[in-house]
Each structure stands twice: as C-alpha cells, then as structure tokens.
Amino acid sequence: MNPRRLTLILVPYLWLLALFLVPFLIVLKISLSDTAIAIPPYIPKLDLSTGWHGITAFFADLDFENFVFLAEDDLYWKSYLSSLRIASISTLLTLLVGYPIAYGIAQAPEEWRPTLLMLVILPFWTSFLIRVYSWIGIISNEGLLNQALISSGLIAEPIQIMNTTQAVYLGIVYTYLPFMILPIYSALDKMDVSLTEAAIDLGCSRRQAFWLVILPLSRPGVIAGCFLVFIPALGEFVIPSLLGGSDTLMIGKVLWEEFFSNRDWPVASAVAVILLGILVLPIMLFQRNQERQQETDR
C-alpha cells in the first residue's frame, strides 16, 4: 500500500477509533463497574494495568450489578417502556401529519415543488432548541392557545397541555416532520403519473387509485420516514425536558439526570448500553429497508 493511501485511510480511521469506539468501550466498562462516592465516582472492575490477570479477574468478578439494578428498579423499566410508547405514538402522528403534506407537494405543479420542498427543509436549518421553545409560549397555561380559547368562551379554565405527554408528542411531530415528509415525497416523486391514470383507466375512482396504487407504492418512503423519526425520538432529551415536565419519563432524560443530578456514572452508563441495545433492532430494519430500496432503484 502506498504511503499516501495509507495516510488517507489512517487519519479518519484513527480519529474515529479514538473518539468514537474507545469512548463507547469506556461506557461499556464503566457500566460494569461499582458505584462509589469518589472522583471519579466509580470503582473500575477492569484494570488493564495488571495485564492478563486483570482481565481474568474482571471476568471472574463480572456481575452485571448495574444491569440487575436497572432490571429491579421499576423506574427504569417504566421509562424504557414509556420511551418506546412515546416514540411509537409520535411516529404514527408524524406520519398522519406528514403524508398529506408530502402528497400535496408531489401533486403540486412542477415549478412550485422546489420552493415547497425548501419550505419543508428551512425549519431544519434553524435551531432545534428554538423550534421546541416556540411552542412554550403557545401551549403554556397562560399561553396564546389557552387565551384564545378562554376569550372565545369555549373553555372557562385553561387546559393543561404544557408538561404533559401530549406536549411531547406535539414537540416531536413538529421538529421531526421534515424527516417524515422528505422520504415520502421522494418515493411519490419517483412514481410515474401514468400509474394513477392507468388505475383510473381500469375503472378506479381517484380515491381508489390512491389506496390501491399510490399508497402501497410509497411504502418504502413511509417506512424510511418512520424510522427516521422513531430512532432519534427514542433517545430524545430536549423535548421531554422542555415540554414534558417532571411526569414524562423518557430514557434520554433519565440518563441525563442519573449523570448530572445523581452523579451515578455506572448506572448512567448501563442505561446508555441498554438504550443502544433497544436501538439495534430498528436501526437494522431501517438499513434493510434502505438496501432493498436501492436494489429496486437500480
């Protein structure tokens, strides 16, 4: 191998090894350590400085204590389940909101489409934090929505939206909407106009043509969009902590609190390891969907 090629490979490779893989191995190692009140606040189980002996001692002593703790404390159970539920429901809601928009863009005259697409992407370039924040002024108890509803006489007392799970759904749908619209749009855009026309020609109504032809054919886009929302939503931290209040349990928030408030590094690390374990399945399914998609495109 010539030296130029070697450098080209080694520089990014070593960077990622040092700053992605090694840190993750450290998380794994600490998740297997014992909690201690010290700095750093854990007692390492794996001591590589003692060489082979250290490794054998580590395996002999391996007890998954933190994982057992996580399994026994129902706070963690509940927050994993609640994360999964919140991510699933918000993915479904995002799909329901996003599909009609994507379909509308695909049906729009060709010269409008770039502008419409730009309008979908534009929010993505603005700060995530600000987009979440923008809802606080609307849905809080004294917020614009409640003010409007009260002054119109529909309700007497403000409805509690802020600091509920519903607010988290809203936040996720709002911020992840572009991730849902774009893949669905690109699946719809690839479709031949004559498909609808053929279906109508063969006796379908426009609505039937949509359900029987367009919707099934846009499935890969729908699947991709759902994963693109579900995967990041599962580990979400900002939305539940700003909009969800103390009652909303999400695993990203629990990890943050274990680490910053309780300073329990081993448990925080164990939480991270399990979160990653949960994510493996959807990520693999997503990858498979993308690969299959690429094959059919070819």
119 binds other proteins (CB under 8 A): yes
If the CB atoms of residues 3 and 60 are measured against other proteins, the closer one turns out to be 3
Closest approach of other proteins to the CB of residue 277, in Å = 11
Closest approach of other proteins to the CB of residue 243, in Å: 11
Rank residues 61 and 197 by Cβ distance to other proteins and give the closer one: 197
CB of 52 to other proteins, least distance (A): 21
- Distance of alpha carbon 130 from alpha carbon 126, whole angstroms: 8
Question: Given the rule CB under 8 A, which of 61-69, 86-94, 95-103, 150-158 is the region that contacts other proteins?
Answer: 95-103
DSSP 49-80: GGTHHHHHHHHHT---HHHHHHHH-HHHHHHH
- 12 belongs to the binding site for other proteins (CB under 8 A): yes
CB of 5 to other proteins, least distance (A): 8
- Asked if residue 111 binds other proteins (CB under 8 A), the reply is no
For residue 197, the minimal CB distance to other proteins (Å) is 9
Site for other proteins in 267-296 (CB under 8 A): 268-269, 272, 275-276, 279, 283, 286
Provide, rounded to whole angstroms, the least separation between the CB of residue 256 and other proteins: 6
Helices (H) and strands (E) in the chain, counts: 16, 2
What tokens were used for 19? 């700053």
- Which residues from 185-204 bind other proteins, rule CB under 8 A? 188-193, 195-196
- Give residues with Cβ within 8 angstroms of 258, minimum separation 6: 264, 267, 268, 271
Per CB under 8 A, which of residues 64..83 are in contact with other proteins?
Answer: none
Site string for other proteins, 121-160 (x = CB under 8 A): xxx-xxxxxxx-xxxxxx-x-xxx--x-------------
Distance CA 65, CA 31 (A): 9
* Binders in 231-270 for other proteins, by CB under 8 A: 231-232, 234-238, 241-242, 252, 255-256, 259, 265, 268-269
- Asked whether position 208 contacts other proteins by CB under 8 A, the answer is no
- Separation of alpha carbons 263 and 269, rounded Å: 11
Q: Of the two residues 74 and 142, which places its CB atom closer to other proteins in the complex?
A: 142
* Burial per residue of 196-225, b for 16 or more beta-carbon CB atoms within 10 angstroms, e otherwise: beebeeeebeeeebeeebbeeebebbbbbb
Overall size of the chain counted in residues: 298
Contact window for other proteins (CB under 8 A) among 71-79, 84-92, 153-161, 226-234 = 226-234
- Residue 230, interface with other proteins (CB under 8 A)? no
Shorter beta-carbon distance to other proteins: residue 65 or 236: 236
Residue with smaller CB distance to other proteins, 165 or 252: 252
Task: Give the pair of three-digit tokens for residue 262.
Answer: 């309780």
Q: Which of 67, 76, 80, 103 touches other proteins (CB under 8 A)?
A: 103
DSSP H/E element including 35: strand 34-35
All residues at 6 or more sequence positions from 269 whose CB lies less than 8 Å from its CB, including other chains: 27, 28, 30, 31, 66
Q: Among residues 53 and 246, whose Cβ is nearest to other proteins? A: 246
Give the span between the Cα atoms of 5 and 175, in whole angstroms.
41
Which residues face 43 on adjacent strands? Answer: 34
Q: CA 80 to CA 74: how far, in whole Å?
A: 10
